[in-house]
Structure 1
Amino acid sequence: MQRVYEPGDLLEAEMLIGMLAAEGIDTHLAGRHLIGAIGELPMGGLLGLMVADRQAERARALIADYNAARPMAGGEPDSYPGELIC
């Protein structure tokens, strides 16, 4: 297995795990159980998305595409200009 990405928090990790699963990539989240010890451990590098070696390149490409995505112009309703409503 290879570590392909270090998410900033558990929410980002779970979102990316779901995205990768939708693409047929099984993902393990390393460090999930360390989140409760944040006060005692350094913040950076606790979480890591791990995938099989043969799927690592595809997973990195999908995550890079996700991180590069921008909201579509004009996607917000007129009643909420400048806000993205999900």
Structure 2
Amino acid sequence: MQIAYRAKDITEAHIVAGLLNASGIKTHVGGLYLQGAMGEIGAAGFSNVHVDDEDLYPARQVIAEYEANGQAVPATETVEGKPDSYARWFLLTMAVLALIWLNLR
């Protein structure tokens, strides 16, 4: 097996693997279990999409089309371009609830 694509994170690796699978190319995503050791921070350099040796060239062609046409939205922005602050509000709410709970004890 050859590495056809080195992804930024495991999510991107699965997106590319799905694209290749839809094109009839069998894939294997490496680095899946290494992500948990790093938490939400991607394990840099371990999220790879592997294909069989004979499928490497067709896979690279599909990936090149994906990269040329792909207009991915950054993870920190929603489609409208506004910051995605759900996680911040959730954490702030949990911190306030924890402080209230500690003061009631």
TM-score grouping bracket, smaller chain normalisation: 0.7 to 0.9
Give the gaps of 5 or more residues in structure 1. 72-81
Count, aligned residues: 72
So what's the TM-score if we normalise by structure 1? 0.72
- On the 8 A contact 2:34/2:43 being kept in 1, the answer is no
Q: After superposition, where does 1:57-72 map in structure 2 within 5 Å? A: 57-69=57-69
- Secondary structure of the residue aligned to 2:17 is helix
Larger Rg: 2
Which structure carries more helix by proportion? 2
- Alignment RMSD (CA, Å): 2.3
Give the gaps of 5 or more residues in structure 2. 72-78, 81-105
Give 4+ residue runs of structure 1 displaced > 2 Å after superposition.
none
Structure with the greater relative contact order (CA < 8 A, sep ≥ 6): 1 or 2? 1
- On the 8 A contact 2:6/2:45 being kept in 1, the answer is yes
